[in-house]
Chains A and B, each alone.
Chain A
Amino acid sequence: MNATPIQSDSEPALHGIAKWRFVIVMLVIALIALGVTVRLTWLHTVEQPFLYSEGQKRTVRVKSEPARRGVITDRFGQPLAVSTSVVDIGIHPNQIDPSVLPDLASALGRNANDLIRTVAEARLKKKSFIYLARQVQPDVADRVAALEVEGIQLNENFRRYYPAGEVTADLVGLVDIDHNGQEGIELAYDSYLEGQEGKRTVVQDRKENVVKLVGVSSVAKPGKDIALTIDLRLQYLTYRELKAAVEQHSAFSGSAVLLDAHTGEVLAMASQPSYNPNNRALLKAENMRNRAVADVIEPGSTMKPFTVAAALESGRYKPESMVDTDPGFMKVKHKTIRDHRNYGQLDVTGVITKSSNVGVTLLSADLGADTMWQFFTKAGLGQPSGLGFPGETVGQLPYPDQLDPLRLATVSYGYGLATSPLQLAQAYTSFTQNGCRMSVSIVMDSYSPEDCQPVMKPQVAKQMLNILETVTSSKGTGRRARVDGYRVGGKTGTAHRIGRYGYEEAKYTAVFAGVAPISNPEVVLVVVIDDPKGREYYGGEVAAPVFSRIVSQALRLRQVPPDDMPDVGQQVAGGVTWMD
């Protein structure tokens, strides 16, 4: 049972085993080394492009930088649309530490429990990113950034703000949440206003922190600014007076266009109802029409001055020429055209002063359809105004061969044709600019004096101004358009509204188109009040007072010297100047 020493015997055998084992182990190690080398070479050569691109995909990001949209201002640089910096705040729910949520909630001004619930839900749904708040003010974002919490992402962005609000809403328009123009000037000049996004390449870590800026492929280019020809002061008062009138008469809608009589620049353009572009929640599509350019109206009697101007232009009539409107009505085909009452013998001036339908019918019948059509076309009716406003209408003017005696008669007093308030105002610039119709413009520096279409002789335009002034005299239909201290002229118009079954009996559009001051016109104003409800509905009752209020303030603001100040010298001499 004792152990015999066999160690010395077994030794050589042990060596023998070690040798082949050694070789095998070495071989295996060599094979492993070879395998690793081959694999390495494989990865570094054959698979390298694929792996490299995959690596880049996980770390390199192209970040876009929002570009600031251009500012829209009025003619004196008052801002009408401004982009302000805001921040979109988002979090990565799976990276954020739940214990910081109450702090985060208080920085955002939100209920802590709400926020915790939101984040928990997002985690359950395995969302990698959620927005907590969009378009917040930079100071809120600063408070959030000061928490220095992981998993929060702050994205710079812009928000469009309209300082003048509803006053310029229909004109300036608005943008959607991605800063694309949707309406008005914002849409018309979208590509000019919008900037170019910048692009930069960065390396990010897993938590989306920027580690390294690799390159900048383009720097963000801010959009260009636009100055409109609008004078914000005039826009304010035009809007205020229009709104007051629309409310007073419970009208369906209203619009007003104020033009610079010398240049055709739009000084103010308002429409009612309007909307607040700073609160998108309350937007209603029907309030977003710029009625001054998009609505067509039948201009009614405001067209009569053009019929009379055509008559004067023909050389066959003078302002003193007599027209026999007796007995105050006449039959054209099957329709009877009536005046308010029998005016008897009227001179051409009186036809406008009294707004005689029979008078202009006689004149237009004498001139013929071709002459009338050519004259109205030169005045810009049925022609684009050249403003380039979205949704702008060109109106409608029947062709000469459509003008049978009855239609010719109706066109002569402004029925059976359609214009926008803007076109009507534009047509009236031909009276103020020595017979030359100005091209309207809304962007500064686009006016050029050659941009005008001759409509009538300068002498006829002068006569027309004097004729228009008689409308606001005590004998005329537009007495309430008068302005203290200034000679003003214009024409009232009352058109039946068009309903489903043709002209409606008791619904009207009240219009006043006029110029002031007569001695050297500065402004052209058209006021349209659509469907005033109440006892007053005539253009002379509804629209003319609005004209008077707007023009008196506009002339004062533009510092136009009064041209109608009788016996100033006597007043001063008499010393009667202080008293009320």
Chain B
Amino acid sequence: MNALVWFAVLVSALVQVGVSHWNRDLVGEWLALEAQQRELNQEQTRLLLEHSTLTAYGRIDQNARKQLDMIEPANIRVLTQ
């Protein structure tokens, strides 16, 4: 009986060690993933802002007029029917 209890204590101690180690591993992994998430978030925001700057209506309007010599259809002109 005594031996059994001793054995149980030993097993529980080892499991305790293992679990705390596992916990530390998971925390480490979590923090790494969190850092990665933060980086991806940063990247996404940066791209979002870049996209919105490049596709700003004012910019497209300017480029269409200046670089591509486009005009607004001032009078209705039917080209095909």
Instruction: List residues of A whose CB falls within 8 A of some B CB.
Output: 68, 78-79, 82-85, 138, 156, 161, 163-164, 167, 213, 232-233, 236-237, 240, 484-485, 553, 556, 562, 565, 568-569, 571-572, 577-578
Contact = CB atoms under 8 A, between A and B. Distances in A.
A79 B49 contact: yes
B42 interface: yes
**Interface residues of B toward A: which range?**
20 to 34
Nearest to A219: B34
B38 A156 contact: yes
B79 A232 contact: no
| Most chain B CB inside 10 Å of its own CB: which residue of A78, A156, A578 | A78
Contact of A572 (B48, B49, B52, B81): B81
8 contacts: A78-B55, A138-B42, A236-B61, A485-B76, A553-B72, A565-B76, A572-B81, A577-B77
A572 B57 contact: no
Contact of B42 (A84, A163, A565, A572): A84
Contacts of B73: 556
SS of A interface (majority): mixed
Contacts of B53: 163
A572 B76 contact: no
Pick the most buried of A161, A163, A571, A572: most chain B CB atoms within 10 A of its CB: A163
Contacts of A571: 78
B1 interface: no
Nearest to B46: A84
Nearest to A552: B72
Contacts of B45: 82-85
Interface in B1-60: 27, 31, 38, 41-42, 45-46, 48-49, 52-53, 55-58
B75 interface: yes
Which label, helix, strand, loop or mixed, suits the secondary structure of the B interface?
helix
Given A68-B41, A85-B38, A138-B42, A161 B49 contact: yes
Contact of B58 (A85, A236, A562, A578): A236
A156 B48 CA distance: 20
A562 B57 contact: no
B68 interface: no
Nearest to A572: B81
Contact of A163 (B38, B41, B49, B79): B49
B77 A484 contact: no
A165 B77 CA distance: 36
Contacts of B31: 213
Given A83-B45, A161-B49, A163-B52, A562 B81 contact: no
A85 B46 CA distance: 9
B54 to A, nearest CB: 10
A456 B25 CA distance: 71
Given A78-B52, A82-B48, A83-B45, A562 B27 contact: no
A41 B27 CA distance: 37
A236 B58 CA distance: 7
A568 B41 contact: no
A232 B57 contact: yes
Given A85-B45, A163-B53, 6 more contacts: A84-B42, A164-B56, A233-B57, A236-B61, A565-B76, A577-B79
A484 B57 contact: no
Nearest to B41: A85
A459 to B, nearest CB: 31
A484 B74 contact: yes
A542 B46 CA distance: 41
Given A68-B41, A163-B52, A572 B78 contact: yes
Contact of A240 (B27, B58, B74): B58
A224 B42 CA distance: 17
A82 B76 contact: no
Contacts of A562: 76
Nearest to B59: A236
Nearest to B57: A236
Which 8 pairs, one residue from A and one from B, show the smallest C-beta to C-beta distance?
Answer: A236-B57, A163-B52, A485-B76, A85-B42, A84-B45, A572-B81, A233-B57, A79-B52
A568 B57 contact: no
Contacts of B77: 577-578
B78 A577 contact: yes
Contacts of B48: 79, 82
A84 B46 CA distance: 8
Nearest to A231: B57
Nearest to B23: A213
Nearest to B50: A163
Contacts of A569: 81
A342 to B, nearest CB: 38
A233 B64 CA distance: 15
Contact of A237 (B46, B55, B57): B57
A562 B75 CA distance: 12
Nearest to B28: A213
B75 A484 contact: yes
Contacts of B76: 484-485, 562, 565
